[in-house]
Amino acid sequence: MNKKYSRIIEIPDIGDVLFERSKRAKHINISVKPPSNVRVAIPKDISFIQAVKFFRKKESWVKKNLYKIKHYCFNNSRSENVNLLHAKDYLLNRLENLATIHGFRYNKATIRNQKTRWGSCSEKNNISLNIQLMNLPKQLIDYVILHELVHTVVKNHSNLFWRRCNQFVGNAKALDKQLKRYSLY
């Protein structure tokens, strides 16, 4: 990579951190991804020195997320053992059952092996569920499905969204926090 646009800086107790200019970044953005990759996206009008100072203020957040990745990641061999046909059958049937029980309508549903999301709902109410949901407890599978079904009505994560989720799952934010203990990697 061109040194003008990116730099790798070793940060004690964290390791190598990639600081990289981004045309799309409007703010400094730090991301932590498995196994232990840390990237800082920098808008074009921010200096590398300013970005490093910002990073230093967020070091405890980075360490916390690196710890989570290290201790809560799925064992890759476990995630590979998901039977695609069984997963599709179970997840699509569960989606249909929960939608019917709670009066939700969606357009299409797909099951994918996604790297970053447990599920998603498009503007056209197409729902995509991650095959790796099969590695979660059933309560969390239902939470993700109901979370996406609520998105067919409320397209954001506003207070209204969380109130609607709570109508179907109880304490949605507690379940969301529990879900964050699991990783897709």
CA torsion, ordered 86, 91, 96, 101, to nearest 10 deg: 120
Q: Residue for token digits 């790297």? A: 115
pTM attached to this predicted model: 0.61
Q: Which of 10-19, 133-142, 157-166 is the least confident region?
A: 10-19
pLDDT digits (tens, 9 = 90+) for 134-143: 989 999 999 9
Write b or e for each residue in 73-83: b if 16 or more Cβ atoms lie within 10 A of its Cβ, otherwise e.
ebeeeebeeee
Q: Can you tell me the distance from the alpha carbon of 37 to that of 52, in angstroms, rounded to the nearest whole number?
A: 16
Residue 24: phi and psi, rounded to 5, are -85, -20
CATH superfamily assigned to domain 77-179: Metalloproteases ("zincins"), catalytic domain (3.30.2010.10)
Q: Is the pLDDT of residue 62 over 50?
A: yes
Q: Look at residue 79 and tell me whether its pLDDT is greater than 70.
A: no
- What is the C-alpha end-to-end distance of the chain, expressed in Å? 26
Give mean pLDDT, residues 178-183: 83
Range 69-73 contact pairs with CB under 8 angstroms and sequence separation of 24 or more? 69/32, 69/33, 69/34, 69/35, 69/36, 69/183, 69/185, 70/36, 72/181, 72/182, 72/183, 73/34, 73/183, 73/185
pLDDT digit string (tens) for 98-132?
Answer: 999 999 999 999 999 888 899 999 999 999 999 99
Per-residue confidence at 185, pLDDT binned at 50, 70, 90? low
Structure confidence at residue 71 (pLDDT): 60
Ranges of each domain in the chain: 6-72, 77-179
